[in-house]
Amino acid sequence: MKKYDYLIVGAGLFGAVFAREAMNRGKTCLVVDKCDHIAGNIYTKEVEGIQVHVYGAHIFHTSNKTVWEYAQKYADFNHYINTPIANYKGELYNMPFNMHTFYQMWGVTTPEAARAKIEEQRAEITGEPQNLEEQAISLVGRDIYEKLVKGYTEKQWGRSCTELPAFIIKRLPVRYTFDNNYFNDPYQGIPKEGYTAMVERLLEGADIRLNTDYLENKAELDALADTVLYTGCIDEYYGYCYGELEYRSLRFESETLDMPNYQGVAVVNYNEREVPFTRLIEHKHFNFGTQEKTVITREYPATWEKGMRPYYPVNNEKNQALFARYQALAANEDKVIFGGRLGHYKYYDMDKVIEAALALVEEEL
Ligand SMILES: Cc1cc2nc3c(=O)[nH]c(=O)nc-3n(C[C@H](O)[C@H](O)[C@H](O)COP(=O)(O)OP(=O)(O)OC[C@H]3O[C@@H](n4cnc5c(N)ncnc54)[C@H](O)[C@@H]3O)c2cc1C
């Protein structure tokens, strides 16, 4: 007799939602994670009374009411709305591009004047854009490109915009309203007690083993459960037999400062190329904190190498073809299910993770 119905590899959001639903249906679950904490990429840790987003800023936003209501059951969400600021050589601009930005850029005060300015500047590109620079100018004009697109994009990709292909930027959304809300979704917020507490509640009732690498203890762990849900990297599961899937990585540098308020907002983008980091996060503002100290994190783009934490999948043709080969292997498994952002090699926002995990529950349970 196996001890558990499910062995869940990965205590991130996908594994936790699946575990919760399985337990709600009377199934038993063992959850293992190779890290020393639960919550995977949405892990938050309390420092000086502030919930620090350890693996990058996480804002929950969705247009799916069912998902929003689901998340509410496991966390008390605040009314945070993401309104990032862009800093270009000390000049501050509102994001996303909207009437505030256009006023700051050109002093224009009406949508008509803003539209005319952009149209005038877009006209510089006449033929088919040949690279990312031309594509961006053809969408928003030179001023916005030079100050708010160029340096940031070059840092992210580690290459000049004239060497990057045009298709990387398909759209650059422009709003002719005074609306600084970064997201269009009707539901948005951040768990007041942090994401870790939310995942803790989801996992209530499961047996949890941290610091446990499934692949290093596979035979022993497999023997404990009927079915395995694996939310780690799919290529790693198969010993990279067809080669490695690529990711873009990030590096974070955090500091605690002896002051109550460093930048007055949670997220500031640094848009010029000469500043090596892309974003500066001040965590307390995600939760309207009034603590005496503050914690800030600088986010640097980093080239991913095997062994580093995988952040963003690089879903280009080469990697998609490789992923399809791994998926074909996965389709032949009868005891193992693959899930989550790493198992599906897909960038999923948290709401999409919840959606996908609930869909799997419907299929499986
Ligand atoms: C920088 C960044 C910012 C983001 N910001 C947002 C945002 O603002 N809003 C939003 O909605 N979403 C955001 N996301 C997406 C969000 O992080 C994901 O949707 C979510 O974390 C995915 O959960 P998951 O369970 O699929 O994966 P993960 O959280 O990565 O969980 C997988 C778990 O599996 C474990 N694991 C892997 N291999 C093994 C093994 N062999 N043995 C044991 N354990 C293993 C890992 O340690 C990990 O804990 C962001 C993502 C990134 C990278």
What are the pLDDT digits (tens) for 212-224? 999 999 999 999 9
> What rounded mean pLDDT belongs to the chain?
97
pLDDT of residue 246: 94
**299 catalytic, yes or no?**
yes
Please say whether the beta carbons of 249 and 310 come within 8 A: yes
SS (H, E, C) 19-64: HHHHHHCCCCEEEECCCCCCCHHHCEEEECCEEEECCCCCCEEECC
Give yes or no for a contact between 233 and 308, defined as CB atoms under 8 angstroms apart. no
Which residues, listed in sequence order, are joined to residue 253 by a DSSP beta bridge? 298
Candidates 325, 355, 337; CA nearest to 69 is 355
Ligand 1 — pocket residues by CB below 6 A? 9-15, 32-35, 40-42, 56-60, 213-215, 231-232, 250, 311-312, 340-342, 348-351, 353
In the predicted model, what is the mean pLDDT of residues 171-179?
96
Using CA positions, which residue lies closest to atom 7 of ligand 1? 58
CATH 3.40.50.720, the chain: domain bounds: 4-78+189-246+315-364
Mean pLDDT of 98-123: 98
Cis check: omega of the bond before 96, within 30 degrees of 0: yes
pTM: 0.97
Has residue 253 got a pLDDT over 80? yes
Q: Residue 2's pLDDT is what?
A: 80
Report pLDDT digits (tens) over 328-338: 999 999 999 99
Specify the ligand 1 atom closest to the Cα of 216: 41
Measured in Å, residue 128 CA sits from the centre of ligand 1 at 38
d(CA 350, CA 66) in angstroms, rounded, equals 13
Buried b (16+ CB within 10 A) or exposed e, 335-363: ebbbbbbbbbbeebbbbbbbbbbbebbee
The one catalytic residue in 20, 43, 74, 175 is 175
User: 126-169: per-residue pLDDT in tens?
Assistant: 999 999 999 999 999 999 999 999 999 999 988 999 999 999 99
Q: Which two tokens stand for residue 132?
A: 């990312």
pLDDT at 192 over 70: yes
Which residues partner with 294 through β-bridges?
257
DSSP 352: H
CATH numeric code, 4-78+189-246+315-364 = 3.40.50.720
Nearest to 344 by CA among 321, 313, 309: 313
Whether the CB-CB separation of 152 and 280 falls below 8 Å is answered with no
Using pLDDT thresholds of 50, 70 and 90, give the confidence band for residue 1: low
Based on the residue annotation, tell me whether 298 is a catalytic residue of this protein: no
Q: What is the pLDDT of residue 162?
A: 97
Whole-angstrom distance, CA of residue 284 vs CA of residue 226: 43
- Report how far ligand 1's centroid is from the alpha carbon of 158 (Å): 24
Q: Residue 301 above 90 pLDDT?
A: yes
What is the C-alpha to C-alpha distance for residues 51 and 287, in angstroms, rounded to an integer? 8
| pLDDT digit string, tens, across residues 36-86 | 999 999 999 999 999 999 999 999 999 999 999 999 999 999 999 999 999
Q: Helix and strand tally (H, E) in the chain?
A: 13, 16
Query: What is the dihedral sign for C-alpha 300, 303, 305, 311?
Result: positive
Amino acid residing at 326: Y
